[in-house]
Amino acid sequence: MTTTAHANRPIVGVIGLGIMGSAMAANLVKAGFEVFGYDPVAASRQRLKKAGGHACKSVGEVAQHATHLLLSLPSEAALDQVCAELMATGLKGLIAAETSTLPEVCKQRNKTALAQHRITLLDCPLSGTGAQALTRDLAVYASGNAKAIRAMHAVFAGFARARYDVGDFGNGMRMKLVANLLVAIHNVSSAEAILMGARAGLDPATIVKVVADGAGGSRMLQVRGPMMVDRSWEDATMKVSTWQKDMALIQALLQATDTPAPLFAATQPIYNAAMAMGHGMNDTASVYDVLERLTQKAPRTKKRK
């Protein structure tokens, strides 16, 4: 296995080079880390090469070079597959920080399986959008083995502005779902506020600038407000279709904890409508389009004689 190439900096492997994974990998390269990465999509591997990283042909090849791994995966099936491939390498002592928003039970299942092969899995979901990932404006909610988390500190610092050690494995996902419940609400409320101001005759861009700097501001207004104003939701940093998965996880935790959440419940039809309107591949800022269309008068139907 390769030794560290930069003073006291581990070589990092990134498995999953989508919106979040590619941004993390690029920022780690900028921070001076040697980065090896894999994604089944050739274009994603090429993007890593352009950023200065090393593109690998398999999960196993990444693990041959790096003991400190970041997993950024789209589904439970993907996590199961990657963990199976890590176990098949026969390598010991790997630390893998799983950064995706996936069911806690899936992460726990793979943690147990990897432990039998002396591979440590951490539950470390991220707070932030793809756009925030590009500028290192992410927070890591790290949970699991404390020693392994300490070993990952420098890596987290290479792509995130903050790290919070939140305790036992699984607490990371629970904290992420708390954060995402607020994101769901703040995103829709930002769209409501901008639309009301625009219909009242205010300039939408000015609304975002002024309100974001006051008591009514939120990170979603700062991050997604400009996308709503510019109608640039085709450049997705969080696709509506992907967000539906997160919404389902939040709903499951609400039910499991018997938590009333009327504001969250009120946002669900808006995101469902975005899907129905063809915004599945667009950013969740497209909820603005949903609300805007609700203001349009429906055509009158002719009375039957």
Residue 303 has pLDDT above 70, yes or no: no
Q: What domains can you pick out in the chain, each with its CATH number?
A: 12-168 (3.40.50.720), 173-294 (1.10.1040.10)
What is the reported pLDDT for 175? 97
What is the reported pLDDT for 5? 43
* Section 85-102 average pLDDT: 97
Q: What confidence category does residue 7 fall into, taking pLDDT thresholds of 50, 70 and 90?
A: low
The secondary structure element, H or E, covering residue 294 is helix 287-294
Q: Among residues 226, 13, 214, which one has the least CA distance to residue 131?
A: 226
Per-residue pLDDT tens digits for 44-81:
999 999 999 999 999 999 999 999 999 999 999 999 99
What is the reported pLDDT for 298? 47
What is the reported pLDDT for 241? 95
Show contacts of 1-8: CB within 8 Å, 24+ apart: 1/64, 1/65, 1/67, 1/91, 2/64, 2/65, 2/66, 4/34, 5/34, 6/32, 6/33, 6/34, 8/154
Q: Residue 305, exposed/middle/buried by CB under 10 A (0-12, 13-18, 19+)?
A: exposed
* Averaged confidence pLDDT in the chain: 93
Per-residue pLDDT tens digits for 166-223:
999 999 999 999 999 999 999 999 999 999 999 999 999 999 999 999 999 999 999 9
Helices (H) and strands (E) in the chain, counts: 14, 9
Residue 155 has pLDDT above 50, yes or no: yes
What is the reported pLDDT for 129? 87
Per-residue pLDDT tens digits for 245-294:
999 999 999 999 999 999 999 999 999 999 999 999 999 999 999 999 99
Task: Give dist(CA 266, CA 228) in Å, integer.
Answer: 20
Residue type, 178: V
Structure tokens at 250: 């939040």
Residue 122 has pLDDT above 60, yes or no: yes
What is the sign of the dihedral through the CA atoms of 218, 222, 223 and 229?
A: positive
What is the reported pLDDT for 296? 85
What is the reported pLDDT for 131? 87
What is the reported pLDDT for 9? 84
Instruction: Among 83-97, 124-138, 186-200, 274-288, name the one with the lowest average pLDDT.
Output: 124-138
Parallel, antiparallel or unpaired: strands 35-38 and 139-142: unpaired
